[in-house]
Amino acid sequence: MKESRKERNTRMVLIFLCISVTVFAFLYVKNDKVIDSKDTYTPLYLVLEQGTSINENPKVALYKETNQEHVLAIYEVDVSNGHKFTALQAVTLKGIPEKLTNDESKRGIWVYMSNDWIYLDESLEAAEKDEASKIKDPLFRDELTRVKVEELHRQGVQEPIAIHSLAADQSLWLVVQKSGSFSIVENLQD
């Protein structure tokens, strides 16, 4: 059976339309995946306890996304073993925290997420507590002066954005970098 010129043109137009719709659909789906700023995260750090001697290790709370889960953990920093982090407690959060701060009792953590402050006790379980016990600014966070930034650059730390004292004698520091990673720095001169 021989196809007429009209039938052939109709077939070509239909094929062209099907291909066009398919290409358009792929492009639309690909461009539709815009990352919402509320769905992104930044690792958060909070010093819970400073080390006061060579035998007393500091404790740090660290929030990060692991395997698409939001994990808040408390670590002990072993100062005598190359600053090895040992997990003491960990919990999976249902949302993305925006801030962490200390409790005045120094036993728990206040977590700000979903426009609300939530208190987690030392076992990282949600507990009822009066927000008046929440400390406004995290303890042990120090001012990042120009002199400290220059010293950190000399020690190989790039783009520091925050600095936390891990030792009462100011001999050990947790330095947060713009990328979200951190470094442990000893004997930072001011």
- Host domain of residue 16: 1-34
Same domain, 140 and 58: yes
Split at pLDDT 50, 70, 90, the class of 88 is very high
The DSSP-derived string for the chain is -PPPHHHHHHHHHHHHHHHHHHHHHHHHHHHT-PPPGGG----EEEEEE-B-BTTB--EEEEEEEETTEEEEEEEEEETTTTTEEEEEEEEEESS---EEEEBTTSS-EEEEETTEEEEE-TTS-EE---GGGB-SS-TTEE---HHHHHHHHHTT--SEEEEEE-BTTS-EEEEEETTS-EEEEES---
Same domain, 44 and 108: yes
Whether the predicted pLDDT of 35 surpasses 50: no
Same domain, 85 and 73: yes
Same domain, 141 and 164: yes
Same domain, 27 and 44: no
pLDDT per residue over 105-132, tens digit each?
A: 888 899 998 888 999 988 899 888 888 8
Same domain, 25 and 62: no
Same domain, 11 and 98: no
pLDDT per residue over 52-83, tens digit each?
A: 866 788 999 999 888 888 999 999 998 888 88
Per the structure, the count of domains in the chain is: 2
Same domain, 13 and 67: no
Mean pLDDT for 133-150 is 84
Same domain, 19 and 71: no
Same domain, 129 and 58: yes
Same domain, 86 and 17: no
Same domain, 61 and 144: yes
pLDDT per residue over 155-183, tens digit each?
A: 888 888 888 888 888 888 888 888 878 88
